[in-house]
Amino acid sequence: CKNRLQCLSGVDVVRASLIPRGSSNAQLFLYYLSFAFFGTIRAFFLKKDFDAILVIQSSPVSMALPGMLLKRLTKKPLYIYTFDLWPESLAAGGVKPESWLYKRIGKFSRWVYASADKIFVSSDGFREYFRDMHGIRDNVFYLPFFEADMVLPKAEKPMGKTHLVFAGNIGHLQSVETLVKAAKLLEDTDVTISVAGDGSAKESCEKLAEALAVTNLTFLGKKPFSEMPALYASADAMVLTLAKNDLIAHTLPNKLMGYMAAGKPIIASADKESARVVAEAKCGFTAPAEDERALAQAIRDFIQSKDKAALGKNARKYYEQHFTTDIFLKTLKSLLAEQRP
């Protein structure tokens, strides 16, 4: 690969080999293992002229192994920034917690996380998981990821209509079906709903909308990024829906941060972390995940609200206080500079 070694913006980038992800479970397993294997080999030959080791851990947890080796070789501090909880991700994928595989991966995950001098978590709810699942309390720090700022153009909105927008991936974990069912319950109102995005569950959601004869919800398909500011600007509020799932409940989606950056009120059908942030920011209305009746009622409450402008301002204010690039970098620098407690 000609891009195996690069210098980007003054940073040396060394890439490890990967086995293609493929479509079968066996190929996915090999893909997951390949970075840990080839990355560990690469780690042996890296120059050791660095001060610390930062692992960005999405999935799987084994991607931290090269960093663990470097810590052993150099005695430098190891920091793991986790975006995905293990072994909880296995449960989200259908592996039963009482199974042999789940227990073995759970033991392996505890070993990996225990090797870190500090663990940074992208969602505050992750701290609860590390405490309860792995018994780690003192060295877990909340470091929310940043979201790019969004400047919205002026947009003309249909008179007498309340326009709601859902934007992003339409997968099974997003539970857009809940929004489709809620839309059917709102046909007596002035609400129109636009769903922009694509994903594995888009076709099934479209079929559901057709089967229910929903008339106030439109699937726009995947839109280019250049068109998103105008779409956001046309919305009276943005909608977030998530599946009823323990892993998802602990996660703070970047989509929510993007909604806040746009300064839009938010209507969320979600549990725990996302619901907490919306409530803490005082920027919208919430309903339990996968409860279409509660979501429909939250939308009705928004329609009747006299403080729509204030909700949007509160969303933007919360974004500026927590989710900007500058705040992220300052917090990261501070956490890297501090000694382990």
Average pLDDT on 172-192 reads 95
At residue 1, does pLDDT exceed 60?
Answer: no
Q: Specify the residue for token string 């069912």.
A: 181
- Of 81-95, 96-110, 261-275, the least confident: 81-95
- pLDDT reported for residue 23: 67
For 334, residues 6+ apart whose C-beta sits below 8 A from its C-beta are none
The phi and psi torsions of 163 (rounded to 5 degrees) equal -100, 120
Percent of the chain with pLDDT over 90: 58
The rounded mean pLDDT for the chain is 89
Q: Is 278 exposed, middle or buried (0-12, 13-18, 19+ CB in 10 A)?
A: buried
| pTM score, whole prediction | 0.82
- pLDDT reported for residue 337: 86
At residue 2, does pLDDT exceed 60?
Answer: no
Cis peptide before 97 (omega within 30 of 0): no
Q: What is the DSSP letter of 224?
A: -
Do the beta carbons of residue 94 and residue 117 sit within 8 Å? Answer: no
How many Å apart are CA 233 and CA 228, to the nearest integer?
8
CB atoms within 10 A of CB 313: 15
- pLDDT reported for residue 94: 74
Residues in the chain: 341
- pLDDT reported for residue 339: 59
* pLDDT class of 157 with cuts at 50, 70, 90: low
Write b or e for each residue in 236-247: b if 16 or more Cβ atoms lie within 10 A of its Cβ, otherwise e: bbbbbbbbebeb
At residue 341, does pLDDT exceed 50?
Answer: no
